[in-house]
Amino acid sequence: MMTMVILSMAVAIGGLLGGMVWKREVPVSISALAMDSGWLWTPWLWAVTFLLAPPLMTVLAGAWKAVGLAMLTCLLLTGAMPLFDAEHSKWHYVCAVAAGVLSQVCVAVINPWWLMTWAAAPILKIIDSNTKVLKNKWVLILETLCATTMYGALI
């Protein structure tokens, strides 16, 4: 199962870095890559999700598996949205936010200590208020924190 977590992480990071190189900029969010990558977005996010599913379902107990399944479903729907809509629709955002929130519920169940990673957000905000280095990248930072805590809890 650890291999699947590492593969999922490698596919996620590889796709994100590949998208950044392709666009020659840091996107405002992971989903911002979807508009320029076209059909590549869906298989990329689905590969990340399907590799993450077995380890997640293995570590979640009882009724918490339903929360994990709901999170995975939201990720799959987020990945599928560009196939149905040329622009990001409200459903894309609803599914993405739900996936993020549900992922943190799963992290709280698996290993709540990883939620301490969120302490970085206000620190980054304070630093950014003085330097403006992060500009409008806060959605990407929040998505990265969600992924970091999820992968950390599973490893």
pLDDT in tens, 81-109: 877 776 667 888 899 999 999 999 999 99
- The crossing angle, in degrees rounded to 10, of helices 41-59 and 64-84 is 180
What is the pTM for the complete model shown?
0.88
Average pLDDT over the chain reads 87
Cα–Cα distances in Å, from 121 out to 52, 87, 125, 128? 25, 28, 6, 10
Task: Give the residue ranges of DSSP H helices in 24-119.
Answer: 32-37, 41-59, 64-84, 90-110
Residue 20 has pLDDT above 90, yes or no: no
Q: Give the model's pLDDT for residue 86.
A: 63
* pLDDT reading at 38 higher than 70: no
pLDDT of residue 41: 82
pLDDT of residue 30: 83
Given a contact cutoff of 8 angstroms between Cβ atoms, the answer to whether 52 and 8 are in contact is: yes
Sign of CA dihedral 52, 55, 61, 65: positive
Q: Are 56 and 154 in contact (CB under 8 A)?
A: yes
Residue 13's contacts (CB-CB under 8 Å, 6 or more residues apart) are none
